[in-house]
A and B are shown apart, each in its own frame.
Chain A
Amino acid sequence: MQWEIVIGLEVHAQLSTQSKIFSGASTAYGATPNSQACAVDLALPGVLPVLNKGAVERAIKLGVAVGGKINSPSIFARKNYFYPDLPKGYQISQFELPVVDGGSLKIQVGETEKIVNLTRAHLEEDAGKSLHKDFHGMSGIDLNRAGTPLLEIVSEPDMRSSAEAVAYAKKLHSLVRWIGICDGNMQEGSFRCDANVSVRHKGTEKLGTRCEIKNLNSFRFMEKAIEYEARRQIEIIEDGGSIRQETRLYDADKNETRTMRSKEEAHDYRYFPDPDLLPLEISDEWINNLKATLPELPEARRDRYVATFDLSSYDAETLTSSRELADYFEAVVKQLPTQAKLCANWVMGEVSGRLNKEGIEITACPINPTQLAALLSRINDSTISGKAAKDVFNSMWSGEHAGDADAIIAAKGLKQMSDSGELEKLVDEVLSANAQQVADYRGGKQKAFNSLVGQVMKASRGKANPAQVNAILKQKLA
């Protein structure tokens, strides 16, 4: 019997507003404790929430970007529970009529595309923070985060593997940054994921009992946590047990999930419309104005790369994984319009690889698009080989000759041998020194040919043009 994993994700994206969702206190990260918690955030008697237009705009932008329905009116509700980091005794959230209903995201896992449907996206306020430090038996509360605007984006249980869940989370992460509604900083908690995981026999319709895994603060942990959790559930069921619906926490050090609270003790939140907030009206005009401010969306850009640059959908997907990367690629290709594939390969290969290795963002790349284009144009006009280009790339990266490819090529003497007379001479030398391989090749061994090419390249100290070497060798051995 084959098992199927069913995953739905809830993402809390912290909206990139200056001020809080219901007060004029700052949302800046890392401030002195409680220096950004005003009377409204502290729930002092008599205060009233006033909704931040910037937060609503960001929610609408997300809704438009995922093709969801924007509700008007949209209403706010109180979610009631008691916890010291929630001074009001309720969180202002949305229950019925969230700002966004539905919508979808297209994800790609390997070569397979898939649509993940969204259930909803609603606005809510964040809670404060309880510090783990012990204050002589007391807990310390910092309310700076209380009232920070969040957009909770809930997916349908449409994902069937940890890889799909990660692809979806990455896609959403890229999108919220792309449209500028969230900085996506996972370390600072600006993008928090919870996963609902259940298992069932493949082919069955009915969903299994799910467990919610909280606070997956990296994509790698998300993948491991989901895999662990699915294995745990399958083992329980195969041993004749049943799954208890509960909230579980992922422990990255032990790579396991453990019970946080079970459904029996789960809160009954007693949602009801917040009488302090009136229905939020969102006009079509407002939506259209916001739509006009949105940049070309990743999906559209991806399709354009496939159509105009003739790139594979995989390449186009990778290049549009962030707006900054896509912008960089476009700036390179703009200078080498006929060499989109070469540009794509270098941006995805050398550039991204090196950025990853050094843990820096594309915006901090030491080689700018113009400099990279200059290097690529030297490969394109056969001045240097691809191998030599990597050498030049490394020198450019460390800032040699102010990143000028031509100056580095000249200084290192990496210019390819274009003089065919000189190259023919080299080939002749190699052929006479390797009589055995020549005989092998003539005897039908293709391998011997490759070895000869290698010998010539070596003799030229990498400066020969491999295509040219091939041609000359073929001609001489014919």
Chain B
Amino acid sequence: MTLSLNSVKRVAELAYIETNENEASAALTQLSGIFNLIEQMQEVDTTGVEPMSHAQDVSQRLRDDIVNESDQRELFQSIAPQVEEGLYLVPKVIE
């Protein structure tokens, strides 16, 4: 599979990463290398092998449904750029 410069730009846009032409080309080369590696891996016959959903073969630990966090709003908001009426302020949301 070959990756196009446009797909690199598209992925960057989706990830909110600003790229210029040079960076996009460099990323294209690097990503193509990764894709080549994946292509090689796909040649391995994996018939009958169950796909893993995590690199470690252990299962998720669960916590009991208990509230154990207290209100630390003041502490958290002390590092926020802008707050008002207890809210975090962000550039206007338009939709």
Contact = CB atoms under 8 A, between A and B. Distances in A.
A139 interface: yes
Interface string B71-95: 1110011000010111111111101
B59 A281 contact: yes
Contacts of B62: 50-53, 56
B90 A141 contact: yes
A239 to B, nearest CB: 29
**Chain B: interface size category:** 35 or more
Contacts of A38: 69, 72
Interface residues of A, number: 55
Given A24-B68, A33-B86, A34-B87, A275 B76 contact: no
A138 interface: yes
B42 interface: no
A257 to B, nearest CB: 16
Interface in A256-306: 260-261, 267-268, 270, 273, 275, 277-281
Contacts of B16: 82
Contacts of B64: 53-54
Give the interface SS of chain A, mostly helix, strand, loop or mixed: loop
B53 interface: yes
**Most A Cβ at <10 Å: residue of B15, B61, B85:** B85
B52 to A, nearest CB: 8
A139 B93 contact: yes
Interface in A42-64: 42, 44, 50-56
Nearest to A128: B88
Interface string A88-119: 00000000110000000000000000000000
A142 B72 contact: no
B73 to A, nearest CB: 5
Contact of B63 (A53, A83, A137, A277): A53
Interface string A124-160: 0000001100110111111100000000000000000
16 contacts: A34-B87, A35-B71, A50-B63, A54-B65, A56-B62, A138-B82, A138-B91, A140-B85, A140-B87, A141-B87, A141-B89, A142-B86, A261-B95, A273-B53, A275-B54, A280-B59
